[in-house]
């Protein structure tokens, strides 16, 4: 009884891991390796050497690859059946299962391997995009110093309301959008504007959450809550960009159910046609041709490539500090031929450095550089 109780939680953890999104990449890699090793063993090496165990081992690997690839495919297909909305996922799973059923498990395993790999890449891209959002969130300070009566008290920035007066010391991040009441300072706003040079602020100037106060202490009055700050708007834009689907994806989503039903119907008609129009064909041959039609008619390439490429691009641009408002904007970038940049810091760093020296009427370059260095070392 004790062993049974010990095994059950382990089994539940294993099943939970298999059905979790995190298992897609390990399963895809496993399925790919098993198929890459198993197919040559069963199709070429075993028959050529005439060693039956080698051929059998290859077949076992192919079926194991099919099983690894089917885990998440069956889960997606079951959700489609439960919701009574036939989907492209169900189309691919049924095609792979039928291919295996008529004696071609390697083709079903290859299809499910690609399906699982595409899902794993999409999840990985989404995780990187979430990391980029998390890095943006870390720009916000963990606390703020607010004036309560005659005293300054530390509070959570989320508790700030319009009208609160906050103290921002040199080296601190501004906790909320506000207007300067007292003090002069320089503020690094590169997190919002990309501008590499700090901005000088004085009373009546506006300051923004997530920017860095550099030189002097200032008092500022909060003009909007943290949830409505400029940085929060950037976070919202990034999240919306990740969730916005490209036009071709929206079309696929809209026609997914009728298209899937149509492909199933056409494949069935093709099977019956091969059976009755060419009665000399065996049932397995007619079924194989109908299944080939079913698999080929599935828009796997669009489903696999479009979301993965879009999410990878959004993740990469977010890490570089560039906001792209969805996949449709990325598509429009393909037609861009000219780009105008309005300020330093967009493509340049704003950090001037000497790359080479061209002396004019100077015989000693070393002496010239010593004089220049002496003049500039405190600049």
Identify which has the larger pLDDT, 308 or 29: 29
Cβ(95)–Cβ(299) below 8 Å: no
pLDDT of 323 reads 67
Which pairing describes strands 206-207 and 178-182: parallel, antiparallel, or unpaired? antiparallel
pLDDT tens-digit readout, 121-167: 777 766 766 676 677 677 678 889 999 988 999 999 989 999 999 99
CA atoms within 13 A on the CB side of 185: 29
Confidence check: pLDDT of 104 > 90: no
* Position 316 pLDDT exceeds 90: no
pLDDT at 329: 77
Measure CA 225 to chain center: 29
User: For residue 116, what pLDDT is reported?
Assistant: 87
Most confident of 31-35, 115-119, 323-327, 366-370: 31-35
- Averaged pLDDT of the chain: 82
pLDDT of 144 reads: 92
Mean pLDDT of 285-292: 83
- Determine which helix (DSSP H) or strand (DSSP E) holds 161, and give its type and residue range: none
pLDDT band at 6; cut points 50, 70, 90 = very low
DSSP code of residue 173: B
Return the residue matching tokens 């890490």. 319
Distances (CA, A) of 176 to 8, 69, 200, 350, 359: 51, 49, 18, 27, 51
DSSP character at residue 22: G
Give the tens place of pLDDT for each residue, 67-81. 999 999 898 888 888
pLDDT at 254: 75
pLDDT at residue 319 tops 50: yes
Q: Look at residues 89, 105, 133, 120 and name the one whose alpha carbon lies nearest to residue 43.
A: 105
Annotated active-site residue in 150, 164, 177, 342 = 342
Q: What is the pLDDT of residue 37?
A: 95
Residue 2 pLDDT greater than 50, yes or no: no
pLDDT digits (tens, 9 = 90+) for 222-240: 999 988 888 788 777 777 7
Would you call 8 a catalytic residue per the annotation?
no
Task: Give per-residue pLDDT as tens, 27-70.
Answer: 999 999 999 999 999 999 989 988 999 999 999 999 999 999 99
Q: What is the dihedral of CA 42, 46, 51, 57, to 10 degrees?
A: -30
Lowest mean pLDDT, pick from 126-130, 311-315, 333-337, 362-366: 126-130
pTM: 0.66
């Amino acid at each position: 009884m004790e062993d049974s109780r010990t095994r059950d939680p382990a089994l539940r953890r294993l099943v939970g891991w298999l059905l979790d999104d995190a298992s897609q990449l390990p399963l895809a890699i496993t399925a790919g390796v098993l198929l890459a090793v198993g197919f040559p063993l069963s199709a070429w090496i075993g028959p050529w050497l005439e060693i039956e165990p080698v051929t059998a081992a290859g077949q076992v690997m192919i079926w194991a690859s099919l099983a690894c690839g089917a885990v998440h495919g069956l889960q997606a297909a079951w959700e489609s059946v439960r919701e009574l909305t036939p989907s492209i996922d169900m189309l691919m799973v049924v095609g792979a299962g039928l291919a295996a059923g008529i004696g071609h498990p390697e083709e079903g395993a290859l299809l499910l391997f690609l399906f699982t790999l595409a899902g794993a890449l999409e999840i990985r891209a989404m995780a990187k995009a979430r990391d980029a959002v998390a890095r943006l969130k870390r720009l916000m300070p963990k606390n703020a110093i607010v004036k309560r009566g005659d005293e300054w008290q530390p509070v959570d920035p989320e508790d700030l309301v319009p009208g609160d007066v906050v103290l921002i010391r040199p080296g601190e991040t501004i906790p909320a959008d506000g207007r300067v009441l007292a003090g002069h300072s320089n503020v690094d706003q590169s997190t919002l504007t990309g501008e590499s040079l700090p901005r000088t602020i004085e009373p009546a100037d506006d300051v923004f959450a997530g920017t860095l106060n550099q030189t002097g202490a200032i008092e500022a009055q909060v003009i909007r809550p943290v949830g409505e700050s400029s940085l929060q708007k950037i976070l919202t834009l990034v999240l919306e960009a990740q969730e916005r689907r490209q036009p071709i994806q929206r079309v696929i989503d809209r026609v997914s159910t009728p298209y899937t039903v149509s492909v199933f119907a056409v494949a069935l008609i093709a099977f019956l046609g091969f059976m009755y129009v060419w009665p000399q064909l065996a049932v397995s041959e007619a079924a194989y041709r109908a299944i080939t039609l079913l698999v080929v008619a599935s828009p796997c390439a669009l489903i696999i490539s479009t979301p993965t490429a879009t999410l990878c691009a959004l993740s990469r641009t977010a890490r570089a500090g560039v906001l792209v408002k969805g996949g449709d904007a990325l598509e429009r970038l393909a037609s861009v031929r000219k780009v105008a940049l309005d300020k330093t810091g967009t493509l340049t760093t704003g950090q001037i450095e000497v790359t080479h020296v061209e002396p004019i009427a100077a015989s000693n370059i070393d002496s010239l550089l010593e004089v220049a260095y002496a003049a500039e070392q405190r600049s």
